[in-house]
Amino acid sequence: MGEYRIPDQLKQFVTDNTIVVRSPGRINLIGEHTDYNNGFVLPAAIDKAVYVTIEQVSGTKLFLHSVDFNETVEIELNAIKPVPGHWSTYILGVVDQFLQKGKQIGGFKLSIYGDVPLGAGLSSSAAVECAVAFALNELLNARFSRKELALMAQAAEHTYAGVKCGIMDQFASLFGKKDHVIRLDCRSLEYEYFPLELGEYVIVLFDTMVKHSLASSEYNIRRSQCEEGVMLIGQNYSSVHSLRDATIEMVNECIGEFETAHRRCKYVVEEIDRLQKGCKDLERGDLKAFGQKMYATHEGLSKDYEVSCKELDYLVEYVKQYHMVIGARMMGGGFGGCTINIIKKDLVEELVNDLTVAYLKNMGKELKHYMVNIEDGTSIIN
């Protein structure tokens, strides 16, 4: 590969024996909250990443250093446990996965730095987990496949960060491919790359700068609401094991009387279908039709799944008035973070200027925006 460089912030930690890994954040074009329902997603790895250096040391101690937090943690291997809310928990969760799988680990020195904005819905935590998993795999010569590493990184998020996430973020970070999106079947983990040909359009993210503290608890609640829905449908249709297997008719018939569960499940079933149709739009090169589906996804996430917030809704409503924005929606888990927008290149500057002023005036916050390039997934860069 060779095109990804060690960031200056980490150079002081690199010697001849150091392994350096880069693992990117992700965007998702469509297919939100579908991964843990065994549906499809359409993510891509981006040009913002987490970098990890790792090197063996004698003994059984781990020395973890975060450049971003300017903090070092020392811990004995046999004493590791979750530290919810602390940056080290994502690293320790991955170490724990290797131990669970019976891998012998000795002491090591690890440093970490990233330019994936935290809490912006770009999966900085998955990027950390995947970078650490990839680095440990190399250090220990453990030979886990990328798929196994993705599952271990996801398990680390469940056990050490307490978020019962799906597989999308970790998969996208590990399997990303430059200029391609990944259509991932979250049931079978089969995947296909699609070239993302945007022509005169670009992808721009608008960051609400809202980091909602409810995000992880509400996320787990949504997940269990979907599971309840599946249970209710399963009583009448024994072949339904996830919302992927359900139709909208089944949802109406079996969950109709439970207002909240009904809206949650309806959204998911519709979104799984929307993604399939959206992929056909992309194959036909019909970006406009695809963009309309993004708006529909936002509507569903906001009204039925209820994972949006007023700032996300504001940003999506605002861009609707520009016909050169062909699609926009909130992205990721929700309750803050970014919207993803497909915008005609020529309009970007003007729109960013107008929206920045309007956002500050109406929402009282500075707006950030990121132009996104799609890059390769996790790799060793030293």
How many other CB atoms are found less than 10 A from the CB of residue 348? Answer: 18
Nearer to ligand GLA, 53 or 123 (CB): 123
Nearer to ligand GLA, 65 or 293 (CB): 293
- Work out how close the CB of 377 gets to ligand GLA at its nearest, in angstroms, rounded to a whole number: 16
- Work out how close the CB of 28 gets to ligand GLA at its nearest, in angstroms, rounded to a whole number: 6
How many other CB atoms are found less than 10 A from the CB of residue 19? Answer: 21
- Work out how close the CB of 364 gets to ligand GLA at its nearest, in angstroms, rounded to a whole number: 26
Let me know: does 299 contact 318? Beta carbons within 8 Å. no
- Work out how close the CB of 69 gets to ligand GLA at its nearest, in angstroms, rounded to a whole number: 22
Distance CA 260, CA 83 (A): 33
- Work out how close the CB of 170 gets to ligand GLA at its nearest, in angstroms, rounded to a whole number: 8
Distance CA 92, CA 236 (A): 43
Phi, psi (5° rounding) for residue 369?
A: -135, 150
What lies within 8 Å, CB to CB, of 239 at 6+ separation is: 245
Nearer to ligand GLA, 278 or 332 (CB): 332
State which amino acid sits at residue 267: Y
Let me know: does 82 contact 162? Beta carbons within 8 Å. yes
Phi, psi (5° rounding) for residue 205?
A: -105, 135
Residue of 35, 96, 169, 304 marked active site: 169
- Work out how close the CB of 323 gets to ligand GLA at its nearest, in angstroms, rounded to a whole number: 28
Nearer to ligand GLA, 34 or 66 (CB): 34
- Work out how close the CB of 36 gets to ligand GLA at its nearest, in angstroms, rounded to a whole number: 6
Tell me the sheet residues that pair with 371: 204
Alpha helices in the chain (DSSP H): 8-11, 88-100, 124-139, 146-156, 168-175, 215-236, 248-255, 259-284, 287-299, 310-320, 348-363
Nearer to ligand GLA, 32 or 376 (CB): 32
Distance CA 45, CA 177 (A): 7
- Work out how close the CB of 222 gets to ligand GLA at its nearest, in angstroms, rounded to a whole number: 9
Q: Which two tokens stand for residue 26?
A: 């992700």
Let me know: does 130 contact 14? Beta carbons within 8 Å. no
Helix, strand or coil, per DSSP, at residue 154? helix
- List of residues contacting ligand GLA (CB under 6 A): 32-33, 35-36, 123, 165-166, 168-169, 332-333
Nearer to ligand GLA, 29 or 351 (CB): 29
Nearer to ligand GLA, 35 or 55 (CB): 35
Nearer to ligand GLA, 232 or 307 (CB): 307
Distance CA 191, CA 41 (A): 10
Pairing of strands 336-344, 201-211: antiparallel
Distance CA 330, CA 121 (A): 9
Q: Which two tokens stand for residue 366?
A: 């500075």
Helix, strand or coil, per DSSP, at residue 40? strand
Distance CA 233, CA 334 (A): 26
Catalytic: 169? yes
Task: Return the active site residues.
Answer: 169
